Structure 1
Amino acid sequence: MNDVYEIAPVEGGKAGGMARVATLRNRLLEENPHVITTLSGDFVSPSLIGTLTYQGEKIAGKQMVEVMNALGVDYVVPGNHEYDIKEDEHLKRIAESDFQWITTNCFHKVDGKIVPWEQNGKPFPDHVIYSIDGVDIAFFGSTVPFNKKEYVSYTDKYESVKATYEKLKDEAEVFIGITHLEEDMDDSLATYFVPELDLILGGHDHVNMKHQYGDVIMTKADANAKTVYVHRVSYNKATGKTTIQSELVSIDETIAEDPTVKKVVDKWVNISNESMANMGYQPDEIVMVTKDTLDGRESSIRYKPTNYPIMTAESFLFVAPEADLAIFNSGSIRLDDILTGTITEYDILRSFPFGGGISLVDLQGDVVERVLETGTITNIGIGGYLQLANAEKRNDGWYIKGEKLSASKTYKMALPQFVMGGGEANLEFLKNYQNQSQNPDSFKEVKNDVRDIIMAYFRQLPQGN
């Protein structure tokens, strides 16, 4: 598995669900007692449940660790989102883990010193050896150094794996990487640094794939356990040859839910449902049915115009048609996943866990142009990258509602209140115009909260297209 933020089924119950994964694991154990279950990073964050409070503390991934313990996960590597939460929260999640954390390149920064992360008083190992009938299988991995939290330090994502392999190459027969890297990084790792790997269990990209880099097989499953990869690995002692049969298994309604794991899942679902109900939402209520794929992955929305955040900007114009254009900061979408099929209120809430209203402000054209240029060029790759509605850049400049932007004309812009208050990097200057903005409590019957706004917009769109 990789990139699992949701413990219960998604897509209206049709896909995913950790209790279903547990059933599959139990079936595999009947086939072979040597079943090794791994998760290739990104599990304690992001999730809606993780943002809620339970028994006086922010949940912050506690629900995932409990479910993974119940399921029987063996090994994990950190993903970049493991470091979204606070340092003390991260340390608690490690302490609660029954599974083994391993890493070759992630370290803990304490009082300016770089030290290994610890679990049960011992440093995270840079590898784990699993032995079967005299055959040793080495697991080791690497993480993208994207999350630059002050309490985290990284060594080189390639050289760290290479150094570990060089140390182990005479101690094991089978070598398996558990990585949380981008697809091209896995390619580089297998092609240029450790071509001796037999298998890479990848993560980070959220969509299933299987590639062969020389003799190295690399696979990734779909996020949120909508699929998992099952690898049947055999080693011939006489010839020294490793054979791998890889099967992508869909986790869907045809797989029953394991009752033990379901009990833990239901506990946390009930806690979150109660919180959402207190906020006025019905998690299972259908908002939209679509054949399209709404892309909320950070690797898309922070780098290029993408449909889900564009539709969010369009929803601002739906409730405020008097606005000439709308902008939306991609970092407000915390889904880091794709949505398709049945979209529920819960899907919207997990996309926008922090909510927040929108503002309307009149700005001169030269200021509008500065916002657009900064948000779509300077801010590429960060949360302040802007997605637009009714604004388009052509060869000869910016156009608003199909007409070329005039520096002296006044335009009414709809934007998140967070952005209006100067909360995004390089757009802090917008705070200078905050006192002339309008911040209504509602737009007719729609509450001024981005979650309510996009729900209302989605509900009026043609369904099933």
Structure 2
Amino acid sequence: PFVKEGKGALPKTYVMNVKDADGTTAKIGLIAVTLPFNKADYVSYTDPLQTAKEAYNGLKDSVDAVVAITHQSMEADELLAREVPGLAVIIGGHEHDQRFAKVGDIYITKAMANAKTAYVVNLQINKKKKTKKVTTKLEKLDQDVALDSATNVVVEKWNKIADDNYSSLGFDARKVMINRGEPLEGREVEVRTRQTNLTKLVVASIKDAAPQADVVVMNGGSIRVDDVVQLPISQYDILRTLPFGGAISEADMKGSLVIRMLETGRKNIGIGGFLHYNENLAYTNDKWILNGQPIDPAKTYHVALPEFLMTGKEANMDFLNPSNVEVVKVYPAAAKGQPLSDIRLAVVRYLE
């Protein structure tokens, strides 16, 4: 089990005890599931739907309502609603573009990313009749919503911790890097389907850090900002755009593997494994063309890419790892502080 330091195993469910104005109490059971993506070797995984069913069945007779908090696709949430019709509501995540559905009597709510909106879920429980009623309301989170003073103290505390950490990694978070031109397009629906000015910037930065590379690729899922980044653009904007960071790997690969990687990336449209690549590379007439010539399956090419891609853990790319016989050579990792050591440093250095 997952163990919290000094506290033993974390519970699989949680019961919230609430009380209304007249003193009536109720128990609300909470269950939670998430999609098993980017799996780690040291974590064990169970089937989300089966786990949710077991958690619900273990709670339903001891509480007045059960709420599911999820991070999975809308399709998976809809299946959960059909398979566990006794749920009060599903408060979901994963999609960043706001979703809402009703399956039977169960509402599924997913607000916009980056705290642009929030669904307010009102759960009314009639203990005498043993019934429950759910209503939802979508609220915009803008300047009309006042800051909570206690929460803001905590936010400022963690902002200070973050700034100190960025500094230790070689970043000046408040330094402006771009103060004129167009905003950078980083919305998930865009960077996982096509090249944008932001993806071109990141790819160009990788190429600048690895000038010997014939082929430069980057997975759209590296970009997590899911927003149009407005001017002026600071180093902090680069950090929040590429929060995972990670080194840039260099490897020599056979053209056959390069083609397979590019084809998989092209077919990964709409998900994080969609690949962006350097401007002298193009897909034309069902062929990959580099510097005006088709990529030769037998030739060896020097490739630069985020280190995560070389783990084989990107969607449909388990073949892309150092043990593949078509990987001729993997170059040593760069020293800390070098542009190749962190993709975000590469972008900063490119813009300087």
2:71 corresponds in structure 1 to 180
Question: In structure 2, do the counterparts of structure 1 residues 151 and 375 end up closer, same or farther at CA, with 3 Å as the change threshold?
Answer: same
Q: Deviations over 1:117-157 (max 9, x none)?
A: 724xxxx1434253542544332232323354344333332
Question: In structure 2, do the counterparts of structure 1 residues 190 and 418 end up closer, same or farther at CA, with 3 Å as the change threshold?
Answer: closer
Tell me whether 1:137 sits opposite 2:31 in the alignment: no
Q: Deviations over 1:205-235 (max 9, x none)?
A: 3333221112110112234434332212223
- Alignment TM-score, normalising by the size of structure 1: 0.56
Q: Deviations over 1:159-179 (max 9, x none)?
A: 333344345445444332122
Q: Deviations over 1:276-325 (max 9, x none)?
A: 3354432133445755641469xx85xx6665555422444567788654
Tell me whether 1:374 sits opposite 2:250 in the alignment: no
1:126 corresponds in structure 2 to 13
3-state SS of the aligned residue for 2:227? strand
Question: For 2:278 and 2:336, how far apart are their aligned partners in 1?
Answer: 22
Report matched runs for 1:56-455 at 5 Å: 91-92=4-5, 95=7, 118-119=9-10, 124-128=11-15, 130-132=17-19, 133-146=24-37, 148-191=39-82, 193-236=83-126, 241-288=131-178, 293-295=185-187, 307=196, 309=199, 311-317=201-207, 325-328=215-218, 333=222, 336-342=224-230, 343-350=233-240, 351=242, 353-356=244-247, 367-374=254-261, 376-377=263-264, 386-390=275-279, 391-406=281-296, 413=302, 415-416=304-305, 418=307, 426-428=320-322, 432-433=328-329, 450-455=343-348
Question: For 1:208 and 1:268, how far apart are their aligned partners in 2?
Answer: 27
Question: For 1:433 and 1:147, how far apart are their aligned partners in 2?
Answer: 25
3-state SS of the aligned residue for 1:338? coil
5+ residue gaps, structure 1: 1-82, 96-116, 460-465
Larger helix proportion, structure 1 or 2?
1
Paired residues of 2:59 and 2:66 also in contact (CA < 8 A): no
Range moving further from structure 2, 156-165 or 310-319: 310-319
3-state SS of the aligned residue for 2:4? helix
Amino acid at match of 1:340: V
RMSD: 4.5
Question: For 1:306 and 1:398, how far apart are their aligned partners in 2?
Answer: 16
Amino acid at match of 1:339: D
What is the percent sequence identity of the aligned residues? Answer: 26
3-state SS of the aligned residue for 1:154? coil
May I ask how many residue pairs the two structures share in their alignment?
328
Question: For 1:433 and 1:176, how far apart are their aligned partners in 2?
Answer: 51
